[in-house]
Structure 1
Amino acid sequence: MLPQGIGTWLAKRRLKSPDKTAVIFGHDEITYREFADAADRVAAVLWQRGIRQGDAVAYIGENSPPFLQVMFGAAQLGAVFVPVNTRLAAPEIRHILVDSGARAVVLDPEFLDRAMDGVEAGHIAHVIVTGDGISGHPGLARQMAEADGEHDGTEVPMDAPAAIVYTSGTTGRPKGAVLTHQNLTWVALNCIIDYDVVSTDRSLMISPLFHVASLGMGALPVILKGATLVLENGFEAGRALQLIQRHRITMLSGVPTTYQMMADHPEWSSTDLSTLQKLTCGGSAVPTRILNAFEERGLSFSQGYGMTETSPGATSLSPEMTRAKQGSVGLAHFFTEVRIADEHGVAVPQGTIGEIEISGPNVFAGYHGLADATAEAFTADGWFRSGDLGYLDADGYLFIADRLKDMIISGGENIYPAEVENLISDLEGVSGVAVIGVPDERWGEVPWAVVTLRDGADVDTERVRAHLDGVLARYKLPKNVVVIEDLPRTASGKIRKAELRARFTS
């Protein structure tokens, strides 16, 4: 049996389009032949260090060719790629490295200090630094140059794990969503079909690849189709506009915040955007002001809905329906199904609000090491329970009604209140806490902490942020702390967050 997983993609691209530009990074243009050869050498480097099928290989770094080379190199061996959000604090990185059981970590040198606690706690055998390396840690570039690209063949079936992507924890601890080779293949196919990806496309990647949306719906469809990926290792609106014009970009993925910053930039009106054809936006609905700004330049958005557990795409709204179905997140992707169910798991009629459930080959295999959480995430007949509330209209378009899990999306980053609340509750003087999302012009929404205090306690925004700084990623830190007498609660004692949101967003 020949290998079937995503690790075979680049070898096939090397045969079909060897001289086509695969990746542009800064002044470097990498062909598919060079891309495939590099992934082969990474696979050989990992193999020589004892990495075998099922072993986890973590990666901590910004967008760059090594990110993709390590992912595809690991995939050849049947190893499991673990991308780590570079914005996380040291304790958060520690949890991921330990929980995933990573045997090796590849990282950009600037993240070495932040990762070392996790490396030591996880007994990670191999630490490889990208580039030329630093004292005590070998450089990936040198090791790849010395590697011959050879390793024993490995059969990698489609249902084998390809990646573990960590979600923000609804109960305070991030969970690792296991995405199989099948999941990543089918989500790429969904995007190729629903976003009309073609081999002549040139896609600018301004969002971090460690986000599953950027990886599964941004990079992978482009590579599978043999198109060209322009990588940026950070977002700056003016530079993004320059790159669109310089590289004749046809595809762009982002979140509302990035698009708004581009439209607000002084070079917006003078930048040549004539080659842009496909804009995709996730994270939250595109505000009308952004739709207007882009439509004035003849551009429309594809929007959608999904989550890490669906690799992540579940639905898409075509540009043609942006206005006609404004407020909707679209139809289910081509190889995906969406239904709405009541609290008993029974399908409800169109127009009735219920829990959004998703089925398809892009739905994840489960949470790493968490059998109970995995079981709870699926219905008896195998549909994934999103935890979000919505309804389907008469045409099958999905509308999000509320977030059952109270997740906050700030600038495209997911924030689960429980994770932040658990830490704030440890702060001396705090007797109760609720973290809610408050609308924000720039970020879509930002976290606020609403707290109650013990008698005589003095807690403010500065003290809460100082307590959390270095423990959580900075985007998770509350932008404001409000002290109230009592938190509104249900008869069972649960905090009425909808009431708090209404109070502080009115």
Structure 2
Amino acid sequence: MQNNNLYALFESHFKKDLSKTAFESPDGKSWSFNDVIKTSAQLANLLAQTGAKPGDRVAVQVTKSVEAVLLYLACLRSGLVYLPLNTAYKSAEVDYFLTDARPVVLVCDPADKEALSPIADKANVTSIFTLDENGDGQLMADAAPLSTDFPTVERAKDDLAAILYTSGTTGRSKGAMLTHNNLSSNAQTLSKAWAFNETDILLHALPIFHVHGLFVALHCAFLNANKVIFLSKFDAEQVIKHLPNATVFMGVPTFYVRLLANDAFNKDVCQNMRLFTAGSAPLLEETFNTFTQRTGHVILERYGMSEAGMITSNPYDGERIAGSVGFPLDNDVRVADEEGNILPDGEIGILEIKGPNVFKGYWQMPEKTAAEFRPDGYFITGDMCRKDENGYYRIVGRSKDLIISGGYNVYPKEIESYLDDMPGILESAVVGRPHPDFGEAVVAFVIKDGSSEVTPTTVIDYIRDKLANFKVPKDVFILDELPRNTMGKVQKNELRKLAAG
């Protein structure tokens, strides 16, 4: 019987040349594929020692490092469910994730262990390990003496590989359950669609706690046993320094805006490159065109989400159109109205998808899961879309009031729930405002109740203590009342005009 464990698929490619470099850091340190296999085996043995069993969750909130990637691979080969958490999340946010997912293991930064330990204890986490940005910590120290052999656990296609929490429209985050087949099918589709080959070198500057950096970029590299130049974070000067030695770069629009702001970014730097991709947020046509003029390369924009990985892509061979997300990948795609009636080409409606990459459902939310799927199995993405006369799809709007800031999803309701609890605030509303660097910035409007002092500064400080920095409002406006329609609903379109003005 074939083992459908995603790690088994990756390892079959790693073993083609164990001496080949898998990861290379800017300081010259490197890891071979042999190192990857052996170290992930040691980590898998350590996880097994904790009593973690296939299907159990492992929550990870650590700074980006190669060792963190090896931990991910160890979870896969152990049959454990990997639960990456944004490093920007504060204790109150982590409390919710641990309470909801009930992981048996938590791996965190050494500096956060004291604050997270009581939260982990409350959620019945049995083991806590530390891992810092240099790849040091209790995790690696405890794994070092263990065996470098570990038999990859048998997994079926439908077994869970990861849970990714997505911001919820009601303020409660939802855990998207991704199976081994969801991830493997999407990786194989992307590798083929984007013409990956064994000579490619990926320059990696994305975070590794969400789909883009962890699944899209790394999985394509793993399937081809590519070398990855692994940057700890995006830094324009570092990217420009290493681009001549790479062939593929994946980024969010903010990356490209910042590269174009650097005079050293030019055609010579990009002469060895074959592919630049952009996603996680809309790419401005101006950025698209300026990039082509500066470098001679055309950015390949694609569209995806936590629940399905990549869904559409502009062609590798063929015209890439600014503002378009291209054609469906390994999905059945349709545009429908709110009742699910399929709309003719050219009309704007909600994008619905079906395919092997579409997630299993939301963790412990059967009713929410059922509500998001049509009776015939199509998932309702909530994104407003139009198919043009040439077959290209364009995302023209977003469901609800989603804000995308720096590539991260921000749901206003979550911030509003905290603002409404702040002493002195009667009511609040949060919207997005165009921002030249982040795409959108969070802006808050509040109504005071007179019980406590409320200023823009006190509001920002209050939220900064409770939520990740990308959710903190850049501006706060104090109003006498919020604009409402005849039904009493807050008119956020009017607030967006106020924010822009």
Name the TM-score class by shorter chain.
over 0.9
Change (3 A) 1:389 1:484: same
Work out which of the residue numbers 327, 330, 338 in structure 2 matches 1:331.
327
Change (3 A) 1:260 1:131: closer
TM-score by length of 1: 0.93
Deviation at 1:152, TM superposition (A): 6.0
Deviation at 1:129, TM superposition (A): 1.8
Q: Deviations over 1:277-332 (max 9, x none)?
A: 1111112222233223321211111112221111x211112367666x32222211
> In the alignment, is residue 292 of structure 1 matched against residue 293 of structure 2?
no
- Alignment RMSD: 2.3
CA contact (8 A) 2:195 2:316 kept: no
Aligned counterpart, 1:309:
307
Work out which of the residue numbers 415, 419, 428 in structure 1 matches 2:414.
419
Aligned counterpart, 2:389:
394
Q: Deviations over 1:47-80 (max 9, x none)?
A: 1221111111111212222222111111112110
CA contact (8 A) 2:110 2:137 kept: no
Change (3 A) 1:267 1:369: same
Aligned counterpart, 2:15:
15
Q: Deviations over 1:347-403 (max 9, x none)?
A: 011111111111111111111111111111111111111112122112322122221
Structure 2 counterpart of 1:31, one-letter code = S
CA contact (8 A) 1:294 1:300 kept: yes
Change (3 A) 1:43 1:478: same
User: What is the rounded CA distance, in whole Å, between the counterparts of 2:13 and 2:197 in structure 1?
Assistant: 14
CA contact (8 A) 2:383 2:398 kept: yes
Q: Deviations over 1:148-176 (max 9, x none)?
A: 13456632111100001111121112111
Change (3 A) 1:454 1:227: same
Structure 2 counterpart of 1:397, one-letter code = Y
User: What is the rounded CA distance, in whole Å, between the counterparts of 1:320 and 1:505 in structure 2?
Assistant: 39
Change (3 A) 1:492 1:93: same
Structure 2 counterpart of 1:166, one-letter code = Y
User: What is the rounded CA distance, in whole Å, between the counterparts of 1:189 and 1:153 in structure 2?
Assistant: 20
DSSP 3-state at the match of 2:72:
helix
Alignment of 1:24-35 (within 5 A): 24-26=24-26, 27-35=28-36
Deviation at 1:473, TM superposition (A): 0.3
Aligned counterpart, 1:49:
50
Structure 1 counterpart of 2:197, one-letter code = V
Change (3 A) 1:454 1:145: closer
Change (3 A) 1:120 1:406: same
> In the alignment, is residue 265 of structure 1 matched against residue 262 of structure 2?
yes
Q: Deviations over 1:70-113 (max 9, x none)?
A: 11111112110111110111111121122111101223323324
Q: Deviations over 1:457-500 (max 9, x none)?
A: 75332111111122100110111112233323344433222232
Alignment of 1:130-149 (within 5 A): 130=131, 139-149=138-148
Deviation at 1:117, TM superposition (A): 3.7
Alignment of 1:167-186 (within 5 A): 167-186=166-185
User: What is the rounded CA distance, in whole Å, between the counterparts of 2:261 and 2:316 in structure 1?
Assistant: 22
User: What is the rounded CA distance, in whole Å, between the counterparts of 1:119 and 1:145 in structure 2?
Assistant: 25
Structure 2 counterpart of 1:7, one-letter code = Y
Deviation at 1:340, TM superposition (A): 0.8
Structure 1 counterpart of 2:471, one-letter code = K
> In the alignment, is residue 256 of structure 1 matched against residue 229 of structure 2?
no
Aligned length in residues = 499
Work out which of the residue numbers 359, 371, 378 in structure 2 matches 1:376.
371
User: What is the rounded CA distance, in whole Å, between the counterparts of 1:256 and 1:501 in structure 2?
Assistant: 22
Identity %: 31
Change (3 A) 1:47 1:502: same
Structure 1 counterpart of 2:298, one-letter code = S
CA contact (8 A) 1:164 1:176 kept: yes
User: What is the rounded CA distance, in whole Å, between the counterparts of 1:319 and 1:501 in structure 2?
Assistant: 37
TM-score by length of 2: 0.94
Aligned counterpart, 1:77:
78
User: What is the rounded CA distance, in whole Å, between the counterparts of 2:316 and 2:282 in structure 1?
Assistant: 13
Aligned counterpart, 2:5:
5
Change (3 A) 1:382 1:489: farther
CA contact (8 A) 1:57 1:74 kept: yes
Change (3 A) 1:338 1:493: farther
Unpaired runs of 5+ residues, structure 1, are none
